[in-house]
Every structure is written in C-alpha cells, then in structure tokens.
Amino acid sequence: MYCACSCDADIDYPPTICTVTNPKARVEHQCCECGETIQPGQHYERTEGLWDGRWDTFKTCAPCVEIRDTYCCSYNYGELCEVLRDVSAGIVSPHASHSDSPVT
C-alpha cells in the first residue's frame, strides 16, 4: 500500500505487545495528543502496550484519532501536534518551490 503522508515518525522500538480498544469513558481522561479532556460518555481510543520493556497506556480523543488516521500512517503517541505542525510548515514554507511538488 502506497502512503503519501509526510508524517515520518522515528519508531525505534515498536511495541512487543499492543492492544487497542475504543471504550466509552466512565471518568474524565486527558488526550495524550491535544491535552483536551475526554468527558464521561465519550468514546476514545485506548492503547496499551509494551514498548522497549516498559508498559504504557495512551488515551486519544476521537478527533485526534480521526486526524491521525487521515494524515499519518506512522507516528509516536503524544507527538501528533508536533508532526502536523512540521508537515504544515513544509507545505506553506515560502522557500518551497512548486517544482519540488509531485505531479499527479
């Protein structure tokens, strides 16, 4: 599958074990990407896994999941905003030449 995204994450340690679920929040949580509060009753993505010998859990709000799934095929949890900022800076950079753009 061809990927045209510019989100190039440096994933040194992919998870040994990883489980992704989409529960409905019973209590408030904080999105690991945007920092917004996930309210009780809202669905969110919960990723639990073992990265480089360390267990971790990431909770991502639905809007961030949609943005990530639409624009990135490779990412590190907690870095979505930074990656998108870098990508958008490259798109609107005054130094970018139209000749550098791929022809479709």
Q: How large a percentage of the chain has pLDDT more than 90? A: 43
C-beta contacts of 38-43 below 8 A and 24+ residues apart: none
Amino acid 84: pLDDT: 77
62-86 pLDDT per residue, tens: 999 998 888 776 667 888 877 777 7
Amino acid 97: pLDDT: 47
The total number of residues written for the chain in this structure: 104
78 phi/psi in degrees, rounded to 5 = 85, 0
**Would you say residue 24 has pLDDT above 70?**
yes
Distance CA 61, CA 45 (A): 6
6 membership: H or E segment, kind and range: none
Kindly report the average pLDDT of the chain as a whole number. Answer: 78
Lowest mean pLDDT among 27-31, 56-60, 98-102: 98-102
Place of tokens 């992919």: 14
Torsion sign across C-alpha atoms 19, 23, 26, 28: positive
